[in-house]
């Protein structure tokens, strides 16, 4: 009994001390610090939830802007989870349908179903992200083109657990790319037709110059010679004038012949590339005093007209640039076959092709831009290597199979 009283007294004393230490004028209740700590914990939790909601809203907005949906596939039970925008991509309202693997495959063609399974197997086997394009049917039956990117995730033991990915509707982009490709194809066709028209016109003008104006001047020269014979040797002044006129006629004939041959040499149609390039290089050396070294395969066959014209124009333009810009005293022209390609190269040891000259178009040549376009029309490529003080190499590679060469 004494112990009980002693305990009660101790408790009573403790209560008195607690009452004496309480701030005056404040209600008695749960300790304020404990309530404050709990309030802080709840506030932090609410802030975290708000932050998550904001992040989810931003992600949903980003998916809408990118026309993209995200998804997750649990491999163990086959369940799938779609984002709201993933539903929209396939024509469903968010939550309208429970996504499943069967639903995904039903939207694909049989070929795309097989491809999709193979891509998944490859991703799991390689443990690498994968992507592929496919066409998918929406709820309303419209076909859309989608690009899917996904990555497999594994457990600590190395077992594949799930696949997460994103799907983007790229239908509009593909249509735009197809339109661009069609436009580019149309431009290439128009460019090819324009070049053919130019070549045809050059050939016709060259023929007319040679056959009409050239022949007329030749007849004039012969008539002057006959006139000189008829005058005899008594009229010295008349003979002097006739000699001047004959010299002028000879110069005109020579210039017309050169121009007509440069526009389109008749021998290109007659004997082909090898002899024509040798002839042209010889005339170039005589006019420019630049030594030409010719390395032409003696066993080259004839090529289609467009190929032979393109190669001749490349040599013609390259030699024009050597004469105008390089300062080189020698130039090498190579024409041969390398495996399935016809290769032509013009090499000089001059100052190098300066940048302003790259877009230069000469009076006779087609310009470097034109050369590139001509070679492109034949599915070939044109490479230009130029080093200041060491020279320039112009090299065109044309697939022989693409040329239709027999």
Domain ranges of the chain: 58-169, 172-264, 271-406
CATH assignment of 58-169, given 3.20.130.10, 3.30.1360.120, 2.70.70.10, 3.30.450.20?
3.30.450.20
Q: pTM for the full model?
A: 0.48
> What CA–CA distance (Å, rounded) separates 322 from 313?
14
**Mean local confidence (pLDDT), 66-78:** 86
Is the separation of the CB atoms in 312 and 271 below 8 Å?
no
In terms of pLDDT, which residue wins out, 247 or 399?
399
Sign of CA dihedral 336, 338, 340, 341: negative
Count of beta carbons in the 10 Å neighbourhood of residue 137: 15
Full DSSP string of 156-180: TTS-EEEEEEEEEE-HHHHHHHHHH
Residue 159 to residue 76: CA distance in whole angstroms: 10
Q: Identify the pLDDT of residue 48.
A: 63
Look at residue 54 in the predicted model and tell me its pLDDT: 63
- Mean pLDDT over residues 7-33, rounded? 44
- Of 234, 236, 296, nearest to 271 (Cα)? 296
Q: What is the CATH number of domain 271-406?
A: 3.30.565.10
pLDDT of residue 355: 53
Please state the rounded mean pLDDT for residues 220-237. Answer: 74
Distance (Å, whole) CA 166 – CA 71? 6
pLDDT of residue 154: 93
Lowest mean pLDDT among 31-45, 64-78, 307-321: 31-45
Mean pLDDT check: name the lowest of 35-49, 200-214, 363-377: 35-49
| 18 confidence band (pLDDT: 50, 70, 90) | very low
Q: What is the pLDDT of residues 265-300, one digit of tens each?
A: 778 888 888 899 998 899 899 989 999 999 988 888
């Amino acid at each position: 009994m004494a112990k009980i009283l002693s305990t009660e007294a101790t408790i009573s004393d403790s209560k008195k001390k607690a009452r004496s230490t309480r701030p005056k004028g404040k209600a008695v209740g749960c300790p304020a610090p404990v309530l404050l700590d709990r309030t802080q914990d709840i506030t932090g939790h609410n802030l975290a939830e708000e932050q998550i909601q904001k992040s989810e809203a931003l992600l949903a907005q980003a998916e809408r802007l990118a026309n993209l949906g995200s998804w997750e596939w649990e491999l163990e039970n086959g369940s799938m989870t779609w984002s709201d925008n993933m539903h929209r991509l396939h024509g469903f309202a968010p939550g309208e349908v429970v996504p499943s693997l069967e639903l995904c495959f039903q939207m694909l063609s049989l070929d795309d179903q097989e491809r999709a399974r193979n891509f998944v197997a490859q991703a799991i086997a390689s443990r690498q992200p994968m992507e592929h394009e496919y066409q998918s049917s929406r709820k309303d039956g419209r076909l859309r083109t989608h690009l899917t990117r996904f990555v497999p995730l594994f457990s600590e033991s190395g077992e594949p657990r799930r696949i997460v990915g994103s799907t983007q509707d790229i239908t509009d982009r593909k249509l735009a790319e197809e339109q661009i490709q069609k436009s580019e194809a149309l431009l290439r066709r128009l460019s090819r037709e324009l070049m053919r028209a130019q070549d045809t016109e050059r050939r016709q003008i060259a023929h007319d110059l040679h056959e009409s104006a050239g022949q007329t001047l030749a007849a004039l020269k012969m008539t002057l010679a006959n006139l000189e014979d008829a005058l005899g040797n008594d009229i010295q002044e008349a003979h002097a004038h006739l000699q001047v006129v004959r010299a002028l006629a000879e110069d005109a004939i020579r210039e017309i012949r050169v121009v007509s041959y440069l526009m389109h040499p008749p021998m290109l149609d007659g004997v082909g590339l090898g002899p024509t390039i040798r002839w042209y290089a010889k005339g170039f050396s005589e006019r420019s005093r630049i030594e030409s070294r010719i390395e032409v395969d003696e066993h080259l066959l004839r090529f289609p007209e467009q190929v032979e014209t393109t190669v001749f124009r490349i040599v013609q333009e390259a030699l024009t640039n050597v004469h105008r810009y390089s300062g080189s005293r020698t130039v090498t022209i190579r024409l041969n076959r390398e495996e399935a390609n016809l290769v032509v190269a013009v090499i000089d040891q001059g100052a190098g092709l300066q940048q302003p000259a790259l877009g230069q178009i000469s009076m006779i040549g087609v310009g470097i831009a034109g050369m590139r376009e001509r070679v492109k029309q034949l599915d070939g490529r044109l490479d230009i290597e130029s080093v200041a003080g060491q020279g320039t190499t112009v090299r065109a590679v044309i697939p022989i199979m693409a040329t239709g060469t027999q």
